[in-house]
Structure 1
Amino acid sequence: MTPDAPHPQPIIKGADWVLTDDHGPGAPTGIYGVECMVCEARSPLFDDDAKPVAVWTVQHTAQHPEHDLFLARAEKHWRVVRRRHEDENPPPPQRPVLAFLDRAFGPAFVGLMCLFTALTGYFISLN
């Protein structure tokens, strides 16, 4: 693109934004709760653990045997962040020779290590 050429406009303006799971400090991976579909009683919400909610449903049904249908909910935090443009933060240049060696000999090295480990076990069992 020449310096005088206009910058292309995004086709979808939302393309500058990305929706992600929020893994920030204090953000749980999941929030769990249930609601009884008969009486609309609700369990407390629990972070990162569905087991207390399951226990609540069993206890609720034990107290009210006809209440045996529940709506389970699992919630998570999402965050919308600005998309990082590749032209703003270009990836570091990759050296082609090192990339080839990594692709070619990485799996071979792992295979050889597995073979040596198996042979070591075999030789130990011979004694």
Structure 2
Amino acid sequence: MKSLIKAAEWTLSTDTAQGAPQEPMYESECTTCAESSGATEGSRVHPEIWALKHTGSHPTHRQFRAVITSFWRVSPAEGNPLYDQEAGR
């Protein structure tokens, strides 16, 4: 049986669970041709260099979308009926 809790407190925080990326992911996307640098964790240097090189190879491709992805987790706050249950209390 599933329950719906309509009036409960929740907190939103960075996801630090095992397996979750610990740093933001950075990526550049060319808005002219949709090519992408691919995502890298923790440093935006690779996507920035990729954008410069991409323009060097395609001089009319000068606009890029910077994509920064971070990971969040929603957890029950104190006072939420699930708070004690998740904490093993």
- Structure 1 length as normaliser, TM-score? 0.53
Q: Which residue number corresponds to residue 55 of structure 2?
A: 61
The partner residue of 2:13 within 17, 20, 29 is 20
Structure 1 contact 23–29 (Cα < 8 Å) conserved:
no
1:37-78, Cα deviation, whole Å (9 max, x unpaired): 111111110001100110110110110011010010101000
| Structure 2 residue 35 is matched with structure 1 residue 41 | yes
Structure 2 unaligned segments of length 5 or more: list them. Answer: 1-5, 85-89
What is the distance in 2 between the residues matched to 1:62 and 1:76?
29
Identity of aligned pairs, percent? 28
What's the C-alpha RMSD, in Å, of the aligned pairs?
2.1
What is the distance in 1 between the residues matched to 2:22 and 2:31?
26
Structure 1 letter corresponding to 2:53: Q
What secondary structure, in the 3-state scheme, does the structure 1 residue paired with 2:55 have? helix
What is the distance in 2 between the residues matched to 1:70 and 1:48?
19
Pairwise CA distance, 1:29? 1.9
What is the distance in 2 between the residues matched to 1:52 and 1:34?
9
Pairwise CA distance, 1:25? 3.4
Which of the pair has more CA radius of gyration? Answer: 1
Q: Which residue number corresponds to residue 30 of structure 1?
A: 24
Structure 1 unaligned segments of length 5 or more: list them. Answer: 1-11, 90-127
Which structure features the higher share of helix residues?
1
